[in-house]
Amino acid sequence: MALTLLQTKDLLKRLAMYPKRRWGQNFLVNPTFVERSLKWAQIKADDVVVEIGSGCGTLTGDLVQAKTHVFAIEKDPILFEYIRNTWNRVCIICEDAVQYPVGLHNADDANYKIVANLPYAIASVWLDRILELPQLPTRMVLMLQTEAAGRWFSRENSKQFCPLSIFLQSIYRLENKCTVAKRCFYPQPKVDSMLLSLVKNPQVFIFECTCKQFIRSVFVHRRQQIGHVCKALQSIYANALIAFLQENAIDLSCRAECLPIEVWQRFATRCLQADCL
């Protein structure tokens, strides 16, 4: 069911549709990675699956064939109409995935999966929205730019380590990954992509919103000593972080990017217990 390069070009020609670079329209034309996505997502009949960016339907068709319940989001009106008219079982909306991160799926319902070929420009912003949902997907299989994938699962003492690394890894573990060469897309992007399989941890740690905002503000000055950053920020959280580091014999001259994820989790727990919110 997955479309080849020739089939994709033929479909776009019939639709009189030209890929838009500003929307990150690079369509997967290698069936191997469609099959791998479904395998890694452990797709089975009656699964609820959210698909971001249906595009030409190369993944959509296989999800329908697998008898899943598909909730799709497609921003391009031409491709939206094509998907809607081709598979009437697909619940699809023509919207921005950042505004509708799981489409019309009820985010209060648990036990759903996400499979997506994410546009590069929105990948991290979209993921941030997902991590704020009341019910998190049990599995996610995501195609994204290699650089972004490196940031998401980087660890402390890395230049790529960032707040999203902390929040994501506190909820999901990386089960599988593989490189997807740029030649596997049409039109070809400038860089290779990465296919990631994410599985929710048995015990998740979710950071409270204001604590997340504080951590982001600290990482804005990631190369500065954390003691100096906190004194400049002058907030309840900043004072709490200084006290926490001192109590745990952590040098205030360290930098935000040097603190392990577990330390940030313990700090967030301390804030909850101390009623910093």
pLDDT for 108: 79
Query: Looking at residues 15-28, what average pLDDT do you find?
Result: 90
pLDDT band for position 187 (cuts 50, 70, 90) = very high
Q: What's the pLDDT band for 24 if we cut at 50, 70, 90?
A: confident
Domains of the chain: 5-200 (3.40.50.150), 209-273 (1.10.8)
Query: What percent of the chain clears pLDDT 70, i.e. is strictly above it?
Result: 99
Q: What is the pLDDT of residue 110?
A: 82
Q: At what angle are helices 236-247 and 226-233 packed, to 10 degrees?
A: 150
Burial class (CB in 10 A: 0-12, 13-18, 19+), 222: middle
**Taking 60 as the threshold, does the pLDDT of residue 276 lie above it?**
no
In terms of pTM, does the model score above 0.85? yes
Compute CA distances 162 → 7, 53, 120, 151, whole Å: 40, 26, 18, 7
For residue 178, pLDDT over 90 is answered with yes
Predicted local distance difference test score (pLDDT) of residue 1: 63
pLDDT score of 277: 52
Question: Taking all residues of the chain, what is their mean pLDDT, rounded to a whole number?
Answer: 94
User: What pLDDT digit, counting tens, does each position of 217-266 carry?
Assistant: 999 998 899 999 999 998 999 999 999 999 999 999 999 999 999 999 99
Nearest to 71 by CA among 53, 85, 56, 96: 53
- pLDDT surpasses 70 at 39: yes
Say if CB 176 and CB 40 are below 8 A apart. yes
Q: What is the pLDDT of residues 142-173, one digit of tens each?
A: 999 999 999 999 999 999 999 999 999 999 99
